[in-house]
Amino acid sequence: RHGNTPQNKQKYEISSKNMASKGKRNQIVALKEAGLTTMQVMKKVNVCRKTVYNVMKRYKETGNTTSKPIPGRKRSVRTKRNVERVKKRVQRNPRRSMRATAKEVNISRTSLRRIVKQDLGLKALKMQHRQLISAASKKKRLDRGKMMLQEIQSATDKVMVWSDEKMFTVQAVVNSQNDRVYAHSAQHLPEGCRTHFRRQKPAGVMVWAAVASDGSKSPLVFIQEGVKVNSQVYLQMLEEKVLPWCTNAFGNQYAFTQDGAPAHTSNITQAWCKQHFPGFWDKNMWPPSSPDINPMDFAIWSILERDVSRVSHSSVTALKTALMKSWSKLDAETVRRSCQAVPSRLQAMIKAKGGHIEM
């Protein structure tokens, strides 16, 4: 009676695979022949009442604990031999297509998919596109990552300002992995509903922006179309736009950071920044090939792009309007959390010895 309560069912129910294990079947018979009650056997072997009953019934009928043969036709394709053949081919070349492997092994693609997913337990993982990091760059990322982490941990009284530039175009950014329309056939849809039209050279605008560890953000700075951001253009922007914002927002209690773009690392730019910013990380501080530790790169730009570039824009003016609207909606808590993620990313980079990090 007690074995049928919900508590006991949850405690003693096991899968059919465990129920059929030879060791447990033999243990059940031995305990029963030793005089134990069904309840005692259930507790010792951790099985349900039905399992004890079925095992003992089989033992009395046949004199052994061998499970009944599984009914149905024997496997002719998903055999151990074919599973092993597929396994070896996948190990030799994990990028081999299902179609090619099925043709080589001479089985259907449906059976091959079952072997790969059910018998081998494999999943199809999307190839990742990453920036190539040379051995020298890894060494610099490791050394400078340690310097950055130490600087952030020691400068608790300063606001960290993270800056970057990004190019936005009037053309929509499409996620090709999740861009589908439902219809009986392509002919049932108008061309504009099932087609993304792409321009060869879409118009766009270069945007500069910065976020700070206290949750504040700079005004967006739009670089005039056709203007190359060299040292002179960059310095003019710093003097007219960036320095006034930093001074008004933080006084003298901040550190200004920038990546290793040529306009940022030129001698004239470095000298100006050291002279005018009370806290400045020079070109020997920022690691090469490191967008993964700049909150503008790993968080903020993605938020803007997801919001603004969902649709195409009729003109650069419309694009700028959408960018400013999206930027105004970006809340201080999101900015703060993005900046707070930098130390943990630096720690991950140090653990990876300057290699790619997984966050």
Domain residue ranges of the chain, discontinuous segments joined by +: 13-62, 80-119, 135-176+202-352
CATH label, 135-176+202-352, candidates 3.30.420.10, 3.40.50.620, 3.20.20.140, 3.30.1330.100: 3.30.420.10
Distance between CA atoms of 82 and 79, rounded to whole angstroms?
Answer: 5
Radius of gyration of the chain (CA): 32
> What is the reported pLDDT for 9?
42
- Could you check whether 13-62 and 135-176+202-352 share the same CATH topology? no
> What is the reported pLDDT for 7?
45
Is the Cα torsion angle 151, 155, 158, 160 positive or negative in sign?
Answer: positive
> What is the reported pLDDT for 3?
46
In the CATH hierarchy, which top-level class contains the domain 13-62?
mainly alpha
> What is the reported pLDDT for 127?
82
Strand partners, 211: 162, 217
Contact between residue 149 and residue 346 where contact means Cβ atoms under 8 Å apart: yes
Distance between CA atoms of 86 and 289, rounded to whole angstroms?
Answer: 39
pLDDT digits (tens, 9 = 90+) for 163-217: 999 999 998 887 766 667 777 777 777 776 766 667 778 889 999 999 999 999 9
> What is the reported pLDDT for 345?
96
Contact between residue 82 and residue 108 where contact means Cβ atoms under 8 Å apart: no
Enumerate residue ranges in the chain where pLDDT < 70.
Answer: 1-20, 70, 176-179, 192, 194-197, 359
Contact between residue 240 and residue 246 where contact means Cβ atoms under 8 Å apart: no
pLDDT digits (tens, 9 = 90+) for 32-62: 999 999 999 999 999 999 989 988 988 888 8
For residue 238, give the nearest of 205, 262, 270 by alpha carbon: 270
> What is the reported pLDDT for 182?
75
pTM of the shown model = 0.69
